[in-house]
Amino acid sequence: MSSENIDNTVSSNIPVITIDGPSGTGKGTLGRQVARYLNWHFLDSGALYRILALAVLDRKIPQDDLHTIEALAEKLPVEFEFGNDHWQVLFEGRDVVSELHTEAIGHLASQLAANKEVRRALLARQRAFREAPGLVTDGRDMGTVIFPDATLKIYLYASPEVRAERRYRQLKAGGLDVKLSQILQELAARDERDSQRLIAPMVAATDAVTIDTSDLTADEVLAKVLELVKERV
Ligand code: C5P
């Protein structure tokens, strides 16, 4: 979304921590841990795009019927809740967390996300998650477009090879027969689309703290971020 057609007036004192970056950097795990630590709300913005993709497939909406897709995006019935020992993503009250992370959903989510009207439709939806005592959120444009006034902005980076390797191990551990080269190819294609699109491209905010996670464990990244939280929040 270019800066001239987005409302950047912010009138909230509620603190926000944004975590942006490409897929496979551990943004989601980190965001959930920080939200639990602070006892704040959590928004996985990628899940909104993924749920939209799931709903489009579920309801057999043609992908070029942007009018219907935008209307659906505006009213997307989704909630994030900690329950049954994990963060649940409730779509129409049903926990869909295990359905969202297929490559087909990620691919369609990223295609829909390149559409200006779809992003506009999800803008207010995302800002509405800013509730007391605070919000931790992860995505691609949380610090640049959705919450430009965030208290703390983190940008996570890791080389495509490291991210592909992590995803490969995750899927293998889940018993899936996958090829590392294919994962790397899909990940590179999604990075390319997300960072080259004209509206709200994936980029670090100028005031973000960038952390290269390539050689760090998830615990080391969490420790670094909690230091920043203690200093700034
Ligand atoms: O983060 P995740 O991989 O779940 O996001 C799925 C897709 O949704 C991304 O590839 C991206 O195209 C889109 N997305 C976005 N802006 C966000 C979050 C996700 O464009 N803030």
Which residue has the CA at smallest separation from atom 7 of ligand 1?
110
What is the atom index within ligand 1 of the atom nearest the CA of 190?
10
Query: Whole domain around residue 28: which residue ranges?
Result: 16-225
- What is the pLDDT confidence band of residue 10, given thresholds at 50, 70 and 90? low
Q: Are 109 and 52 in contact (CB under 8 A)?
A: yes
Which residue has the CA at smallest separation from atom 6 of ligand 1?
46
- What is the pLDDT confidence band of residue 6, given thresholds at 50, 70 and 90? low
Q: Are 48 and 109 in contact (CB under 8 A)?
A: no
What is the atom index within ligand 1 of the atom nearest the CA of 110?
12
3-state secondary structure (DSSP) of residue 8: coil
Q: Which amino acid is at 119?
A: R
Backbone CA torsion sign across 27, 172, 99, 62:
positive
The reply to whether 171 falls in a domain is: yes
CA distance 231 to 233: 6
Backbone CA torsion sign across 124, 17, 34, 216:
positive
Q: Are 209 and 155 in contact (CB under 8 A)?
A: yes
Task: Kindly give the distance from the C-alpha atom of residue 141 to the centroid of ligand 1, in angstroms, as a whole number.
Answer: 9
Q: Is the CB of 26 under 6 A from ligand 1?
A: no
The reply to whether 11 falls in a domain is: no
Residue from 140, 141, 166, 194 to probe ligand 1 pocket by mutation (most atoms less than 8 Å from CB)? 140
* Percent of the chain whose predicted confidence (pLDDT) is above 90: 73
The reply to whether 9 falls in a domain is: no
Q: How do residues 40-90 score in pLDDT, each as one tens digit?
A: 999 999 999 999 999 999 999 999 999 999 999 998 888 888 887 887 899
The reply to whether 5 falls in a domain is: no
The reply to whether 23 falls in a domain is: yes
**What angle separates helix 116-127 from helix 45-58, to the nearest 10 degrees?**
120
DSSP 9: -
The reply to whether 6 falls in a domain is: no
Q: Are 107 and 93 in contact (CB under 8 A)?
A: no
Task: Kindly give the distance from the C-alpha atom of residue 154 to the centroid of ligand 1, in angstroms, as a whole number.
Answer: 16
CATH number at residue 154: 3.40.50.300
The reply to whether 106 falls in a domain is: yes
Number of domains in the chain: 1
Q: Is the CB of 141 under 6 A from ligand 1?
A: yes
The reply to whether 233 falls in a domain is: no
Which residue has the CA at smallest separation from atom 5 of ligand 1?
46
Which residue has the CA at smallest separation from atom 10 of ligand 1?
110
Query: In the predicted model, is pLDDT for residue 4 greater than 50?
Result: no
Q: Are 151 and 137 in contact (CB under 8 A)?
A: no
Q: Is the CB of 140 under 6 A from ligand 1?
A: yes
